[in-house]
């Protein structure tokens, strides 16, 4: 009797350990590109992370970690592939050093007018498929792409008025290396590579005159407009594409129902973020116009078109650097011509 009881207890303990292990495995640890305290990070952690549990019937939870909390921001690909992270919600362009195709998918500088255009390209116009090809190549099939797209068009931060392409001449601009820097060079600006954390001080000390920074709401939260009084809004240049990738083994274990729940959650979360970021941006812009301390500059359509035409040359040169980069640009151009953005 004692032996039977002992065996039963041991079996029950093993069962509890197994159940606990399964429950833990369904809490997805993902690292985002946003910092703790950022509007975008609070939006995900406070509002949308809890919704996944409800949407999946309690089967899946997600823990959205701030940038660099587990690994450096440019190393999340390897961390996801190797199972250190279950996934990431990171900026695609961070990985441009591995293949220029990441830059072209991650942020086609000056290419699009609206966030919806880029999200549509990424989800339905071929962008997601190019991204999956990149991960199949660089992680040997260990990563699954759930989705991609931006949530905001960045407002350009400037301490000097830049009312058109010609005004960029001689302006020292904080810019990411690669495609963005090349476009700014071609309009006569002097790109300077700095991390986002140093932008405010660099503007204050006049190390730079302007900056490719972030969405209007994020720039405002970081106090940029206390010293940079001439923002270009709506922006002219950048819509940073964020990806949602998951370790392939983790993805497979979710099964069809879990996978569908995660895809629906991702689409809903980033559509909601896009709308709320836009509303916040508009509120800030309205207050700035009424306040009179900040002068918002909105480029006319002709200047935006001129900037895009200059950018096309940089895109084409960048696309020559790898076969997948060319394939990525071809996908963009096909979509842009079908929507009238390019002739």
pLDDT-derived band at 60 (thresholds 50, 70, 90) equals very high
Question: Alpha-carbon distance 15 to 63, whole Å?
Answer: 25
Lookup: tokens for 28: 């997805």
- Please report the pLDDT score of residue 340 as a whole number: 86
Separation of alpha carbons 227 and 203, rounded Å: 7
Give helix 248-291 / helix 115-124 axis angle, nearest 10°.
Answer: 170
**Given this model, what pLDDT does residue 102 score?**
95
Strand order in the sheet with 143-149: 61-65, 27-32, 87-89, 242-247, 143-149
Cα maximum dimension of the chain: 91
Whether the per-residue pLDDT at 20 is higher than 90: the answer is no
Average pLDDT over residues 79-84: 98
Residue 25 is predicted with a pLDDT of: 40
- The pair of structure tokens assigned to 98 is 């591995």
DSSP annotation of 226 reads G
The CB-side HSE value for 109 (13 A sphere, CA atoms) comes to 27
CA nearest neighbour of 38 among 74, 71, 64, 73: 64
Please tell me if the domain spanning 27-153+239-280 has the same topology as the one spanning 157-236+291-338: yes
Q: Give the global pTM.
A: 0.85
For 246, phi and psi rounded to 5 degrees? -135, 145
Coil, strand, or helix at residue 167? helix
The residue extents of the domains of the chain are 27-153+239-280, 157-236+291-338
Q: What's residue 69's pLDDT?
A: 95
Decide if 115 contacts 150 (C-beta within 8 A): yes
Provide the pLDDT for residue 11: 41
Does residue 86 contact residue 258 with C-beta atoms inside 8 Å? no
| Per-residue model confidence (pLDDT) at position 197 | 77
181 HSE (CA, 13 A, CB side) = 12
Average pLDDT over residues 179-201: 90
- pLDDT tops 50 at residue 333: yes
Residue 195 burial (CB count, 10 A) = 10
d(CA 115, CA 304): 16
- Mean pLDDT (whole number) for 215-244: 93
Please, are residues 87 and 251 in contact by the beta-carbon 8 Å criterion?
A: no
Lookup: tokens for 103: 């830059």
Does CATH number 3.40.190.170 belong to domain 157-236+291-338?
Answer: yes
* pLDDT at 16 (0 to 100): 38
In this predicted structure, what is the pLDDT of residue 47? 94
Give the span between the Cα atoms of 295 and 53, in whole angstroms: 44
Q: Say if CB 241 and CB 187 are below 8 A apart.
A: no
Q: Does domain 27-153+239-280 match CATH 3.40.190.170?
A: yes
Distances (CA, A) of 289 to 155, 178, 203: 15, 34, 22
pLDDT at 97 over 80: yes
**pLDDT digit string, tens, across residues 125-182:** 999 999 999 999 999 999 999 999 999 999 999 999 999 999 999 999 998 778 888 9
Torsion from C-alpha of 227, 228, 234, 237, nearest 10 degrees = -140
The confidence score (pLDDT) of residue 7 equals 40
The DSSP H or E segment spanning 274 is helix 248-291
Burial 281-307 (b: 16+ CB within 10 A, else e): beebbeebeeeeebebbebeeebbebb
Distance CA 206, CA 172 (A): 9
Q: What pLDDT is attached to residue 38? A: 84
Mean pLDDT to the nearest integer, 269-285: 95
Q: What is the mean pLDDT of the chain?
A: 90
> How distant, in Å, are the alpha carbons of 63, 126, 178, 255 from that of 80?
14, 23, 24, 19
């Amino acid at each position: 009797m004692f032996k039977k009881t002992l065996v039963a207890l041991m079996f029950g303990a093993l069962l509890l350990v197994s159940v606990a292990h399964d429950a833990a495995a369904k809490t997805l640890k993902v690292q985002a590109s946003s910092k703790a305290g950022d509007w975008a990070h609070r939006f995900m952690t406070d509002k949308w992370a809890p919704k996944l549990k409800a949407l999946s019937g309690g089967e899946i939870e997600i823990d959205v970690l701030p940038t660099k909390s587990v690994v450096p921001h440019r190393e999340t690909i390897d961390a996801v592939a190797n199972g250190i992270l279950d996934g990431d919600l990171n900026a695609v362009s961070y990985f441009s050093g591995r293949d220029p195709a990441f830059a072209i998918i991650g942020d086609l500088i000056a290419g699009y007018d609206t966030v919806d255009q880029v999200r549509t390209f990424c989800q339905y116009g071929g962008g997601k498929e190019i991204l999956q090809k990149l991960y199949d190549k660089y992680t040997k099939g260990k990563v699954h792409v759930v989705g991609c797209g931006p949530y905001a068009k960045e407002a350009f931060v400037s301490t000097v008025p830049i009312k058109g392409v010609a005004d960029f001449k001689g302006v020292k601009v904080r810019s990411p290396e690669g495609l963005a820097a090349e476009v700014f060079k071609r309009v006569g600006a002097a790109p300077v590579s700095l991390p986002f954390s140093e932008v405010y001080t660099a503007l204050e000390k006049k190390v730079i005159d302007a900056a490719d920074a972030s969405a209007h709401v994020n720039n405002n939260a970081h106090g940029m407009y206390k010293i940079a009084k001439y923002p270009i809004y709506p922006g002219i240049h950048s819509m940073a594409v964020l990806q949602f990738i998951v370790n392939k083994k983790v993805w497979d274990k979710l099964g069809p129902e879990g996978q569908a729940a995660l895809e629906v959650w991702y689409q809903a979360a980033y559509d909601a973020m896009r709308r709320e970021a836009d509303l916040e941006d508009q509120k800030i812009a309205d207050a700035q116009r009424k306040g009179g301390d900040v002068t918002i500059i909105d480029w006319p359509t002709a200047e935006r078109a001129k900037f895009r035409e200059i950018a096309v040359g940089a895109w084409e040169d960048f696309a020559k650097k790898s076969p997948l980069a060319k394939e990525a640009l071809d996908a963009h151009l096909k979509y842009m011509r079908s929507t009238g953005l390019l002739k």
